[in-house]
Structure 1
Amino acid sequence: MSTASTQLAAASGLMSLVLFVVAMAVLGILAGGFWLTSRVKYRESPRPRPEEQPKLPPEGPVHEVRENRESQEVPVPPEGGRPLTPYQLSNQDTRPSASKERPRWSRGSSGSFGGGGLGAH
């Protein structure tokens, strides 16, 4: 131990008192947090009773629907005109596709960006 730390440790217990006060402050903050959380939880609406839980529709569970969807075409600006800005484009919705054939990835590609495959060579 250095001389300075010895003098601090041997001081009139002021360092111990400061650490005790800091510890009590931390405990007070934790206790206040628990108290505040319990007040907030007490004000929440009660949990739903079993008879208030959602029920299955009369026709039974809903099943998955598989369909191919295609997006709308992006409008092409007129020749020599200004490029389109984002606010000139509408939401690009999708619609059901007339084709029933499922799209497949090309052979040898990973199927997604960054999928780790070698890609099409």
Structure 2
Amino acid sequence: MNSEWMDMAAGRGGLAAGVIAAGVVVVAVLIGAFWLGSRVRRRESPPPTPEEQPKLPEGGPVREVREHREPDEVPRSDTRLTPHDLPNSGNSPTRTGSGERPRWNEGSSGSFGSGGPGGS
């Protein structure tokens, strides 16, 4: 019975040695990656100084322009249209209307099937 315990202990000792060897390999790979990363970082140019940072334009920050555009008509065709068959999308701004974007109305449903009473 004593020899059975020795065989079991020897088997587990090999497993422990394998786990320790794998741990050493992982640590070595991590150290190598850190060393290689520091070498690459040393070769890079330094970060810009505050004087080299971009400056705002004279007129201040650029703002977004919102405007309504007139819709383009899609040409009717019996064959499938490809993108180069379509006209340019550069249309002119809408000449009618107040220029305000349409907003959600408080009493309207918001979408089809929402269960609301609908709205104008």
Q: TM-score when scaled to structure 1?
A: 0.65
Distance 1:70 1:42, change over 3 A: farther
Please give the alpha-carbon distance, in whole angstroms, between the structure 2 residues aligned to 1:83 and 1:51.
Answer: 56
Equivalent of 1:98 in 77, 95, 118 = 95
AA paired with 1:102? R
Q: What are structure 2's unaligned runs of at least 5 residues?
A: none
AA paired with 1:15? L
How far does residue 62 in structure 1 lie from its aligned partner after superposition? 2.3
Please give the alpha-carbon distance, in whole angstroms, between the structure 1 residues aligned to 2:72 and 2:117.
Answer: 27
Could you tell me the percent identity over the aligned residues?
Answer: 48
AA paired with 1:58? E
The residue aligned with 1:53 is: 53
Q: CA RMSD, aligned part only? A: 3.4
1:109 aligns with 2:101: no
Q: Is the 8 A contact 1:71 1:93 kept in 2?
A: no
Please give the alpha-carbon distance, in whole angstroms, between the structure 2 residues aligned to 1:108 and 1:55.
Answer: 46
How far does residue 73 in structure 1 lie from its aligned partner after superposition? 2.3
The residue aligned with 2:23 is: 23
How far does residue 92 in structure 1 lie from its aligned partner after superposition? 4.1
The residue aligned with 2:10 is: 11
Q: By percentage of residues, which structure has more strand? A: 1
Q: TM-score when scaled to structure 2?
A: 0.66
Q: How many residues align?
A: 110
Q: By percentage of residues, which structure has more helix? A: 2
Q: What are structure 1's unaligned runs of at least 5 residues?
A: none
Distance 1:82 1:47, change over 3 A: same
1:89 aligns with 2:86: yes
